[in-house]
């Protein structure tokens, strides 16, 4: 049986990089993608110590021409795609994090343009890439789409005053992840009679640049559930986080 092939977006650091590392250790061919070619190539050079089956693909998922070029490249080099891991995401617009505290409700101060910028990556970019790669995923015996989300996108947890995340109301990011969850639900219904499955996974609060050092999970722990969803027979139609704890939609 030939090795599985996986594409990971936003994979030059953090969860994406560690997911690539863990998949390589399981003999999966990995296509590492990100916007910054220098950082992507440096990440690939690092991972070649794990396995030679790693390649870099420059890809900004918000640019249609780059998405099209990526599809062409994967088609030429592999002929199909087994696993798509939609990891690329931003929490805010711009390079500098907002100064507001993590627990602040931002709905009254959030600039609409900032919300649009976050949705451009987290939602529309993810949708655009997924749609473009579906023909290649259909060529796999068992294609998988893994959409990385967050418990912050759960409407039920955001509405429940007893929820541990009730006060974490970063509108742009949280609502973008709510949309990612809905995107997955729609994909699951649209693909139910095909060989492609779609999953929404929250890696949990992980010590990445996005999650900050205050998080309680190490990066390998967060990547572990992503790898399991990519390779194992796990339930669809439900929303899971680390250690397979179910989260309400």
121 and 61 Cβ atoms separated by less than 8 Å: yes
Cα separation, 196 vs 231, whole angstroms: 13
Cα separation, 186 vs 36, whole angstroms: 31
Report the chain (249 residues): mean pLDDT per 10 consecutive residues. 89 95 97 97 96 97 98 97 97 61 80 96 98 98 97 96 93 97 97 96 76 71 92 90 90
DSSP 69-99: HHHHHHHHHTSS-SEEEE----SSSSSSPPS
Number of domains in the chain: 1
What's the pLDDT at 66? 98
State the pTM of this model: 0.93
97 and 70 Cβ atoms separated by less than 8 Å: no
State the catalytic residues: 173, 177
Measured in Å, how far apart are the chain's first and last C-alpha atoms?
37
Helices (H) and strands (E) in the chain, counts: 8, 8
What's the pLDDT at 1? 46
What's the pLDDT at 179? 98
Q: Which helix (H) or strand (E) holds 8?
A: strand 5-8
The CATH number of the domain where 225 resides is what?
A: 3.40.50.720
Token duo for residue 67: 């998405």
Q: Which range marks the domain in which residue 111 is found?
A: 5-247
Nearest residue to 73 via CA among 52, 59, 53: 59
């Amino acid at each position: 049986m030939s090795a599985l092939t996986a594409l990971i977006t936003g994979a030059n650091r953090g969860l994406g990089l560690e997911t690539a590392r863990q998949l390589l250790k399981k003999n999966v061919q990995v296509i590492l993608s990100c916007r910054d070619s220098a950082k992507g190539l440096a990440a690939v050079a690092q991972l070649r110590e794990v396995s030679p089956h790693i390649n870099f693909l420059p890809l900004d998922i918000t640019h249609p021409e780059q998405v099209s070029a990526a599809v062409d490249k994967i088609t030429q080099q592999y002929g199909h795609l087994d696993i798509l891991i939609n990891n690329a995401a931003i929490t805010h617009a711009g390079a500098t994090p907002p100064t507001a505290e993590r627990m602040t409700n931002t709905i009254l101060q959030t600039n609409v343009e900032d919300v649009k910028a976050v949705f451009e990556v987290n939602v529309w970019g993810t949708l655009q890439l997924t749609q473009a790669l579906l023909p290649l995923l259909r060529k796999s015996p068992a294609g998988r789409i893994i959409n990385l989300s967050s418990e912050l996108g759960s409407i039920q947890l955001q509405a429940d005053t007893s929820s541990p995340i009730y006060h974490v109301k970063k509108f742009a990011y949280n609502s973008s992840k709510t949309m990612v969850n809905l995107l997955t639900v729609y994909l699951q219904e649209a693909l139910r009679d095909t060989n492609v499955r779609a999953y929404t996974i929250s890696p949990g609060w992980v010590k990445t640049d996005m999650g900050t050092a205050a998080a309680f999970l190490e990066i390998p722990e967060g990547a572990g559930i992503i790898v399991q969803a990519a390779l194992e027979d796990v339930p669809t139609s439900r929303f899971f986080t680390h250690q397979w704890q179910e989260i309400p939609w």
